[in-house]
Amino acid sequence: MIFNVLSSIGTFYLAYMMATNNINQHAYLGSVYFYLHFQYSGWFFFAIIGLLLSKLKYFYSFSYNPNLFKFFFAACIPAYFLSILWAHLPWYIYIFPVIAVILQLMGISILLKLLKKMWPEIKEKWSYHIRLLLGLSLLALIIKLSLQAGSIFPEISKMAFGFRSIVIAYLHLVLLGFTTLFLLGFLLQSGYISKTKSALTALVLFIIGVFGNEFILMIQGIASFGYVLIPYLNELLLFVSLLMFISLVWLIITMKNSMKI
């Protein structure tokens, strides 16, 4: 919740620049990334880890390591500088993102060790579709942290943030891949989504849409490096967007019907 409130500073500063008609391009982008960082890597991330631990704590093999929280918490604020390495920061500022990357890698290693230890019990107690959704969410998190670690190199950071499709792909990876897939898995495990064939089919179609969206944006971003225009990519993005929309509508209808029963 602290990071949720902290993120609002970015939007307040945007409003200030617009009100004073004093808009600096670097300050504008820095404010946007400030808001997004503390929403995605702060509020969303810690809320999700909290929800995950609230389920895992009932397993016999569960043992909580406080360093999991400490490492990610300590990394969150300095990790913001990973988003603005393109802004010609003083050389000594680069120490902070390096520390953040190290702490994040230490944190994810603790989480992976915990899940590996608990895997036999997770496999026994959670259904395939729950494991699929949560596993893909974990995969998205690992990719996110790997991309952040790679962006510590200024040239890579400038290249990534210089292409719109790359930025959108990264944001979708976190919001759709990590956050949304986890929440759907959490709702399924908690019984808020019925385990009917119709609901599970809708979830699978949504997963296909999410990763189809990421794949197309990745192709578009790679092509942008060489300024190559690949035809029909926008139409494909529209198709997978419609697929995600239809699958979610289908899921909501299924949930309402199950409630009536």
Residue 47 tokens, joined: 């809320």
Residue 249's pLDDT is: 94
Q: Write down the mean pLDDT value for the chain.
A: 89
Which residues contact residue 210 at a Cβ distance below 8 angstroms, ignoring those fewer than 6 apart? 172, 176, 177, 180, 181, 244
Neighbours of 207 (CB within 10 A): 21
Do residues 72 and 41 touch, judged by C-beta distance below 8 A? no
For 107-163, the pLDDT digits (tens) are 999 999 999 999 999 999 999 999 999 999 999 999 999 988 888 876 666 666 666
Cα–chain-centroid distance for residue 257? 31
Residue 229 has pLDDT above 80, yes or no: no
Closest CA relative to residue 83, chosen from 36, 130, 117, 20: 36
Do residues 98 and 150 touch, judged by C-beta distance below 8 A? no
What is the pLDDT averaged over residues 59-84? Answer: 93
Residue 233's pLDDT is: 86
Residue 171's pLDDT is: 87
What global pTM score does this model have?
0.90
Residue 208's pLDDT is: 95
What one-character DSSP code corresponds to residue 194?
A: -
CA distance 176 to 38: 17
